[in-house]
Amino acid sequence: MSFEVSKKAAARAAIGFVEDGMIVGLGTGSTSLFMVGLLAEKVAAGLNIQAVATSEAIAAEARRQGITLVAEYPNFQRVDLTLDGADEADGEGRLIKGGGGALLREKLVAMASTRLVIMIDESKRVQQFGENWPVPVEVVPFGWARLHKRIEDLGAQVQLRQKDGQPFHTDQGNYIFDCRFGPMEQPEKIHAALIQLTGVVETGLFLGLTNTLVTGCESGEAQMQHFYPAPPTYLTV
């Protein structure tokens, strides 16, 4: 099932948060593609915004559809609002992201944003965090096999992501490990254990960052859940 109706419903609801004059972060993924198309229609009708894209693919699509990127892109100072998707989200707004391979840029943009709005279809909502998706972990290619073993020692099933029979490369030229921990009671501890390993660049655990979770439904409607999180504790240690 493609959940195309759900994705479009989530994207349509999310762009309602965009206001004239904003700097808008553009997420990566199938739902974000719908969002970029809908946003481009508003720009064509007179909406004045600038954008920060979270991947080269989305940057190219934004330009193609007439959305202006900030003048110094890929450099940027701040983002007013980011609209992005997720591979998995729970009732606390915790996310697993990185299925599209853009987790590092997505997290950089999310953490620079005044407000992060996450768009998901019904299939991405879970009761137990981590029950469906592995955690993508971006790593440097140099010496990756040793790092692979060190992450396995943390209790994960680890697979080097492949594309066309070769290791997948992110926009930064890094590799991605897809790490299946299973349901996670304390994902903050897993993030902390991963990020301290030399060679790990970033994880796809987005914790305490979501302000609004928009879930699109196959009925064409969308449900919203709002969060006002304090700064994540694992970022202040």
Kindly name the residue from 4, 61, 72, 106 that is annotated as catalytic: 106
Rounded mean pLDDT, 152-165: 97
DSSP track, 2-31: --HHHHHHHHHHHGGG--TT-EEEE--SHH
**Mean confidence (pLDDT) of the chain:** 94
All domains in the chain, ordered by first residue: 4-123+207-228 (3.40.50.1360), 135-202 (3.30.70.260)
Q: In 3-state terms, what secondary structure has residue 39? A: helix
* Tally of CB atoms within 10 A around 23: 20
106 is known as an active-site residue: yes
| Residues of the chain above pLDDT 90, percent | 94
Give burial (CB, 10 Å; 0-12/13-18/19+) of 237: exposed
Q: Can you tell me the distance from the alpha carbon of 116 to that of 10, in angstroms, rounded to the nearest whole number?
A: 14
pTM confidence score: 0.93
